[in-house]
Amino acid sequence: MSKFHLQHLTADDIRSILRSLESAMADHESWITQWHRTLICGLPVDDDAYLVRDSHRHCGFGQWYYRQDHSGLLDHPNFITIDKVHERMHDQVRRIARKARTGAPITDGEYLAFMKEEQKLFHEMLVLKESFHEMLGMFDCLTGAFSRQAMFPILFQEHARVDRTGEPCSIAIVDLDHFKRVNDTYGHQVGDHVLRVTAEYFSSNLRPYDWLCRYGGEEFLICLPSTPVETAHAILDRFRIGLSGTPVTWEDRLLIHITASIGLTTMAADLSVKEIVCRADEALYAAKNAGRNRVTIWVDAEKQQLRKQRPTFSRNKTQSPPHKEAEPLP
């Protein structure tokens, strides 16, 4: 994923890339059809289309290719390969077009050389298209966050980075408080809207190298690379307060203010990814049991026995604002 800058792509970016790629592929198909008509039917040879030295830049596909500027596309290996294959195909077309223009016979070898490059080009286009379709499947279709399918590869990648560099990394699971009440009161359409608002809030506040994943239901997983757990606590508590102040409206009416419980842990190199996620989950349950609407850091059970006066797993440093329940529609 990191090779293709998936972290810097959104689901909307990928959909936009796919739409433009499919349009460019259709342009190329039309160009190829016209080229075969020129050869078979003896139509006049278009200089700009077939004979100029940089004809690969003038065809519809070439114009699309050279105006792309998104790093997620420019750095894709198949996109890079397409440049040379497309140019070589036009070189073969130019050789044939010169003969067609003068009426000289075109050899079987010349035509096969052209078809070989054309088939390579079409293959690279298909692989590029399928790659972005696969990337699109890594996003949750409702919220635009990364999907659960993408979550574990992301965590394995970050776990390997922690093991390799020794840099800290923090993992948090976010659960929306009393979400079932939202669905029961307003219906699932509004519940889906609440999830989208939540994902948009986190996405707009996270750093470019952070990860937001839909863990399941009303739960999200946040991965904060290069972030010690104490720093992550401050970041997430700021998010928690900001989220609680984000009004959710539906059809221009204020419905609810969202609050969330957050369980936080550090990514330890000597633990498996599954164990790390379990710790974040345990901290989340502790946050909910302690009253919800708070960030709780995982604490080892043995150490917790020495802190009987404290709530289980709790290290809350800031006072939570009052929880706001759903307000009935007018």
Q: What pLDDT sits at residue 70? A: 85
Question: Rounded to an integer, what distance in angstroms lies between the CA atom of residue 286 and that of residue 297?
Answer: 9
pLDDT tens by residue, 167-214: 999 999 999 999 999 999 999 999 999 999 999 999 999 998 999 999
- Which one of 3.30.1360.120, 3.30.420.40, 3.30.70.270, 3.20.20.70 gives the CATH number of domain 148-307? 3.30.70.270
Asked if 109 contacts 39 with a C-beta cutoff of 8 angstroms, the reply is: no
| Confidence category of residue 2, pLDDT binned at 50, 70, 90 | very low
Q: What pLDDT sits at residue 179? A: 95
Q: What is the percent of the chain where pLDDT is above 70?
A: 88
Question: Rounded to an integer, what distance in angstroms lies between the CA atom of residue 158 and that of residue 163?
Answer: 9
Tell me the residue ranges of DSSP E strands in the chain.
169-176, 211-216, 219-225, 247-250, 253-257, 260-266, 295-297
Question: Rounded to an integer, what distance in angstroms lies between the CA atom of residue 67 and that of residue 63?
Answer: 6
Question: Rounded to an integer, what distance in angstroms lies between the CA atom of residue 32 and that of residue 126?
Answer: 16
The pLDDT of 240-260, averaged and rounded, is 89
Residue 281 pLDDT greater than 90, yes or no: yes
Q: What pLDDT sits at residue 290? A: 94
pTM: 0.77
Average pLDDT, the chain: 89
**Per annotation, catalytic residue among 117, 118, 124, 218:** 218
Q: What is the percent of the chain where pLDDT is above 90?
A: 78
Domains of the chain, residue spans: 2-136, 148-307
Would you call 275 a catalytic residue per the annotation? no
Neighbours of 65 (CB within 10 A): 19
The fold for domain 2-136 equals: Four Helix Bundle (Hemerythrin (Met), subunit A) (1.20.120)
Q: What pLDDT sits at residue 299? A: 86
| Confidence category of residue 275, pLDDT binned at 50, 70, 90 | very high
Question: Rounded to an integer, what distance in angstroms lies between the CA atom of residue 2 and that of residue 156?
Answer: 12
The pLDDT of 292-316, averaged and rounded, is 63
Q: What pLDDT sits at residue 122? A: 97
DSSP state letters, 49-108: IIISTTGGGTSHHHHHHHT---HHHHT-HHHHHHHHHHHHHHHHHHHHHHHHHHTPPPPH
